[in-house]
Amino acid sequence: MVAITRRSPVVFDVSPSRQEKRDHWNVALEYPGEGEGPWITDLCHKDRWDVQDGDLVSLASDTLPIPEGYGQVALSPEMSVNRMNRTQAAVWHFTDQPGPMPVVSSFTETTEATVFLALYGPRVFAVTEKLTGLDLGGPDKKPPQLVQGPFSHVPCQIVVAAKSGEYPGILFTCSRGYARDMVHAVMDAGQEFGLRPAGEDRFKQWLNRF
Amino acid sequence: MALTLTCPICGERNGYEFKYGGEDKGPRPEESGLSPEAWCDYVHMNNCVAGVQKEWWYHRDGCGVWFTTERDTTSNLEIHNAEVS
C-alpha cells in the first residue's frame, strides 16, 4: 500500500506548536508566539476549483453563489466565490470537508496548482503597500472585492475581505511555483510590523467575522 | 514614458501589466476569392500610424481579458476607454 502525502509549498521559519493530519495534508493549527498581528496563514490545503463556462450564471445555485458582476465576491465562512471575468470564476473552500466537485467539464480542481495565503490583522495594508502598486485598501475598493494583478511582481488573484475595523485582511492565490519566494517577500515586508505565521485556528476566528 | 491602460474589467492599470496584441486590423477577410497577397497584407503588414491608432491589448498580469483601445503613438497615451473583445 502506498502512503499518500500532500505537501504545502509554503514553508515558514517556525514550526507549528499544534498540527493535525487532514486528507493527507499536515495542517498547522497554531504556531508559537503568534503575537498580536498582523498574521499570515497557509491555506494551501483548502480545496479550490476553477469554473469556466460561457454561461456561468446557469451553474450558480444556493450552494454555489456565482456573482454576476466582474470583480464581485460571494464571501462566507464556508467559501469564497470570485467572479473573474465573463467566463471564469474561482471557488475557494474554507470548510474542512467540502462537498465533491460537480462532475461537469466546466469545473477544474486547482488545489495543488496554486498557493493560497491569508494576510490579515492590524496594519495589514501597510504590509501590502510595500509589495504591490495595487491600492488594496483604497477608497474605491468595496469589500469583499476581487483584484487581479501583480503582488510582489507575481500575477495574483486577491480578495480584499475587509479593509476597515480591527481586522482588515486579504486572501490571495498565485501559481504554486512562486510559494517560496512569495512567502519570503511577504515575511520580509511584514517584519517591521510584527507579521507572524498563524495557524488555522486563528484564521477561522477571523473568517467567522464575515 | 509610462503607459497607463484602462482594462474593461480591472480599470486603470500600469502598462507593464499588459501585453501588446498588435494593431486592430478589423475582421478577418472572407476566404472566398482571397488572394495570397491580400492575406499576407492582412497578416503581416501594419499601418504604423504616427498618431491615434486602435490596438489589441491583453491583461497578462491581471484578469486575462483581450480588449481594444486607442492610443496616441506619438505621446504613448491612451485616448479612449477600452472595449471588451
The string of pLDDT tens digits covering residues A179-210 is 999 999 999 999 999 999 999 999 999 998 87
Residue B64's CATH number: 3.30.2270.10
Q: Are A71 and B61 in contact (CB < 8 Å)?
A: no
Distance CA A97, CA A75 (A): 17
pLDDT at A62: 86
Taking the Cβ of residue A133 and every Cβ of chain B, the question of whether any pair is shorter than 8 Å is answered with yes
* Maximum pairwise Cα distance, chain B: 44
| Cα of A118 to nearest chain B Cα, Å | 19
- Phi, psi (deg, nearest 5) at residue A34: -65, -25
**A137 and A168 Cβ atoms separated by less than 8 Å:** yes
Nearest in space to A46 (alpha carbons), one of A25, A70, A62, A76 = A25
Q: Are B63 and A155 in contact (CB < 8 Å)?
A: no
Look at strands A169-175 and A154-162 and give their pairing: antiparallel
| Cα of B12 to nearest chain A Cα, Å | 10
Cα Rg of chain B, angstroms: 14
Q: Are A155 and B65 in contact (CB < 8 Å)?
A: no
Residue B32 placed within a domain? no
Q: What is the pLDDT along chain B (85 residues), one digit of tens a residue?
A: 589 999 999 999 999 999 999 999 999 999 999 999 999 999 999 999 999 999 999 999 999 999 999 999 999 999 876 566 5
Look at strands A196-197 and A39-42 and give their pairing: parallel
Residue B59 placed within a domain? yes
Q: Which domain holds residue B55?
A: 4-25+38-79
Q: Are B13 and A85 in contact (CB < 8 Å)?
A: no
| Cα of B63 to nearest chain A Cα, Å | 6
Residue B50 placed within a domain? yes
Q: Are B17 and A84 in contact (CB < 8 Å)?
A: no
Look at strands B83-84 and B77-78 and give their pairing: unpaired
Nearest-CB residue to B65 (from A85, A140, A150): A85
Does the ipTM exceed 0.85? no
pLDDT at A45: 96
Residue B49 placed within a domain? yes
Counting the structural domains of chain B, the total is 1
Q: What distances in angstroms separate CA B20 from CA A105, A131, B48, B57, B66, one per listed residue?
A: 31, 25, 14, 5, 10
